[in-house]
Amino acid sequence: MKQHESYPLIPIQRGDGVWLYDAEGKRYLDAVSSWWVNLFGHNNPRIKEAIKQQLDTLEHVMLAGFTHEPVVELSEKLGKLTGLGHAFYASDGASATEIALKMSFHYWRNSGKSNKIKFISLQNSYHGETLGALGVTDVAIFKDTYAPLLMQSAQMPSPDFRLSEAGEGAETFALRCAEALEFYVSEHHHELAAFIIEPLVQCAAGMGMYPPAYLRRAREICTKYDVHLIADEIAVGFGRTGTMFACEQGEILPDFICLSKGITGGYLPLSAVLTTDKVYQAFYDDSTAKGFLHSHSYTGNPLACSAALATLAIFESDHSLHKNLEKTAFIVNQMQALTHLPVKYLRHQGMIFAFDVVTQNPQFSKLAYQAALQRGLLLRPIGNTIYFMPPYTIAEDEINFMVSATYDLVKAMQ
């Protein structure tokens, strides 16, 4: 809060498409989709209309002992899209992580393997900031303070290609990381419940990207040693990596998929954990204690589910994944101009674009954020990484503005 004395908060009054308007009418291009949640622009007429209609019918009912049409329809749609036929709902990403971890642990317990109680994740991973989720997160700035409160987990080498040796290809490096994973799992599988990963892009690590070959190996290793694979697609799901879900690119089926962020197009808080018949069956019992006793007040909220259904309807009717291919190509092309600046690792995966600026300035991210705002652009650099994760509705002139404003501000900071 003290820092806000020099950097006052920006009061946003309204949004429209990729633009956010402050109280004085100054506009900012939302190049980070309001922290990765918005898919089809602010003030989207179709999502708005769906919520309004639901508001006239049923705003909320508890999901214990009751059900309603939007949640049933959404579960069936998500089941088809992910290949995982059972859904459990919550309201935010961190809760989805908690649910997946608890459900994995409880599965092994119900299956007579109560020694499988540990979790592993990737180095530089991010899975949310509640205590359980923070236990498998590996970002020092969020984690260190709370370390004494957290459950222990081990971190496997990250396949982020920026960490590879000079001259080593991204895939060779990823497979080398998978070997280290296998070595660890082969020694510890008796006590391991699950391996949780962010498929293809470690977003909070500064858009660390890795090839699908790692996912395939991770799936094989987890299957071989009887350890669950949890895919945290909270950030990368719903088309961000080019396919509906990142796991599709590795042609793998995880045991759990965590979804949130883009699920409602950025309109309302909702998350879901999808899992397999096998996991479901382990809880199917007369004994209440064998059931998955986890609840949140707003589980499966009808307004949020209707926003999610409207979002999925847009994907279908507008062929968004297909259209994004062209948009990706256009953005990649425009971003070539940035190579004239001192930048490294210009990269993209679907509709996620990033590069690292070569600078010694420890304040770089804060200064670049401020400089972008002055130019009417909302960026949230992570360390030296500048990234774009814009709403899919961004138009060509808006892309040009986003890239050229970024070029100018990086140049001005040299």
127: contact with ligand PLP by CB under 6 A: yes
128: contact with ligand PLP by CB under 6 A: yes
Q: Please, what's the largest Cα pairwise distance for the chain?
A: 67
Q: Which is nearer to ligand PLP, 38 or 359 (CB)?
A: 38
The least distance separating ligand PLP from the CB of residue 258, rounded to whole angstroms, comes to 7
Please choose, out of 93-101, 107-115, 164-172, 188-196, the segment that lies near ligand PLP by the rule CB under 6 A.
Answer: 93-101
The least distance separating ligand PLP from the CB of residue 365, rounded to whole angstroms, comes to 17
Q: Single out the residue of 136, 192, 205, 234 in contact with ligand PLP (rule: CB under 6 A).
A: 234
C-alpha dihedral (295, 298, 304, 309), degrees to nearest 10: 40
Please choose, out of 123-131, 146-154, 187-195, 342-350, the segment that lies near ligand PLP by the rule CB under 6 A.
Answer: 123-131
Q: Are 251 and 216 in contact (CB under 8 A)?
A: yes
Q: Which is nearer to ligand PLP, 297 or 363 (CB)?
A: 297
33: contact with ligand PLP by CB under 6 A: no
What tokens were used for 382?
A: 């992570």
The least distance separating ligand PLP from the CB of residue 125, rounded to whole angstroms, comes to 8
Please choose, out of 26-34, 91-99, 189-197, 314-322, the segment that lies near ligand PLP by the rule CB under 6 A.
Answer: 91-99
Q: Report the C-alpha gap between 146 and 189 in whole angstroms.
A: 27
User: Which residues between 145 and 204 bind ligand PLP (CB under 6 A)?
Assistant: 198, 203-204
Please choose, out of 69-77, 104-112, 230-238, 362-370, the segment that lies near ligand PLP by the rule CB under 6 A.
Answer: 230-238
Answer left, alpha or beta for residue 343, where phi above 0 means left and psi between -120 and 50 means alpha. Answer: beta
228: contact with ligand PLP by CB under 6 A: no
304: contact with ligand PLP by CB under 6 A: no
| Residues paired with residue 170 on neighbouring β-strands, in sequence order | none
Give residue 13's Cα distance to chain centre.
26
Q: Which is nearer to ligand PLP, 68 or 261 (CB)?
A: 261
Q: Give the list of residues 6+ apart from residue 163 with CB closer than 8 angstroms, or none.
A: 157, 173, 208
Q: How far apart are the first and last CA of the chain?
A: 29
**3-state SS string over 340-406?**
HCCEEEEEEECCEEEEEECCCCCCHHHHHHHHHHHCCEECCCECCEEEECCCCCCCHHHHHHHHHHH
Please choose, out of 227-235, 241-249, 282-290, 330-338, the segment that lies near ligand PLP by the rule CB under 6 A.
Answer: 227-235
What tokens were used for 269?
A: 């808080």
Q: Single out the residue of 93, 159, 302, 390 in contact with ligand PLP (rule: CB under 6 A).
A: 93
Chain residue whose CB lies nearest ligand PLP: 93
Q: Are 119 and 135 in contact (CB under 8 A)?
A: yes
Q: Is 205 exposed, middle or buried (0-12, 13-18, 19+ CB in 10 A)?
A: buried
The least distance separating ligand PLP from the CB of residue 53, rounded to whole angstroms, comes to 26
Three-state secondary-structure class, residue 116: coil
| Residues paired with residue 19 on neighbouring β-strands, in sequence order | 16, 29
Please choose, out of 88-96, 222-230, 307-315, 368-376, the segment that lies near ligand PLP by the rule CB under 6 A.
Answer: 88-96
Q: Which is nearer to ligand PLP, 246 or 368 (CB)?
A: 246
Q: Are 79 and 273 in contact (CB under 8 A)?
A: no
Q: Report the C-alpha gap between 10 and 4 in whole angstroms.
A: 10
User: Which residues between 243 and 272 bind ligand PLP (CB under 6 A)?
Assistant: 260-261
Q: Which is nearer to ligand PLP, 94 or 308 (CB)?
A: 94
Instruction: Sort strands 385-388 and 352-357 into parallel, antiparallel or unpaired.
Output: antiparallel
Q: Single out the residue of 20, 74, 94, 177 in contact with ligand PLP (rule: CB under 6 A).
A: 94
The least distance separating ligand PLP from the CB of residue 260, rounded to whole angstroms, comes to 5
The least distance separating ligand PLP from the CB of residue 96, rounded to whole angstroms, comes to 7
Q: How many residues bind ligand PLP (CB under 6 A)?
A: 15
Residues that bind ligand PLP (CB under 6 A): 92-94, 97, 126-128, 198, 203-204, 232, 234-235, 260-261
